[in-house]
Amino acid sequence: MPPIPGLQVVRSTIDGYGVVASRPFAAGEVIAEVDGVPWHAEESVDDRYSLKITDDLLFDMVDQTRWINHSCDPNAEIDSEVDDRGRPSARIVAIRPIGIGEEILYDYAFPAYLAEPCCCGSPQCRGAIVDEDEVSEGLKKLGLKSA
Ligand SMILES: [Zn+2]
């Protein structure tokens, strides 16, 4: 598939591959429409690169956007919806100005039972990739915090 204009996949200082901006983005600007394949939660899906659209609906990212890393202090967010026919769509939207060469990052906000250790390096790091509202459960699940 052709590269998404304005984005470049690189080796990330955070984890594995990441995606950096090759042009500036303004706050509120759509960085990319996500190309993805819908799955229902009860299906056996490789969910490593899937967005959770609803409790029942996942959207497996099949383009460069799947390489966007998590940050506890992100510069982008996911905007998703489901149309009348049940088809999900999602886009990456800048939540602050992003300069050339800056890594695009959004908050994965995993539920506590899916929490993973976080190495985003931000001063606001929660210590886990987990939803803001489930930080203590997430840290407990990872054994990073005692009950
Ligand atoms: Zn973090």
Map out the domains of the chain as residue ranges. 7-108, 109-147
Given this structure, which CATH class describes domain 7-108?
mainly beta
**In contact, 83 and 89? CB cutoff 8 Å:** yes
pTM of the full structure: 0.92
Cα(97)–Cα(75) distance, integer angstroms? 8
Query: Tokens for 86?
Result: 């049940």
How does pLDDT run across 82-135, given as a tens digit for each residue? 999 999 999 999 999 999 999 999 999 999 999 999 999 999 999 999 999 999
How remote is the CA of residue 126 from the centroid of ligand 1, in Å? 5
Kindly tell me if the per-residue pLDDT of 3 is higher than 90: no
Share of the chain above pLDDT 70, in %: 98
- At 49 the pLDDT is 93
- At 93 the pLDDT is 98
Cα(53)–Cα(72) distance, integer angstroms? 20
Ligand 1 ion: Cβ-proximal residues, 5 Å cutoff: 72, 118, 120, 125
- At 125 the pLDDT is 96
- At 147 the pLDDT is 53
For 87-123, b where at least 16 C-beta lie within 10 A, e where not — what string? ebbbbbbbeeebeeeebbbbbbbbebebbeebebeee
Q: Is 11 helix (H, G, I), strand (E, B) or coil?
A: strand
How remote is the CA of residue 85 from the centroid of ligand 1, in Å? 36
How remote is the CA of residue 84 from the centroid of ligand 1, in Å? 36
How remote is the CA of residue 116 from the centroid of ligand 1, in Å? 10
How remote is the CA of residue 119 from the centroid of ligand 1, in Å? 5
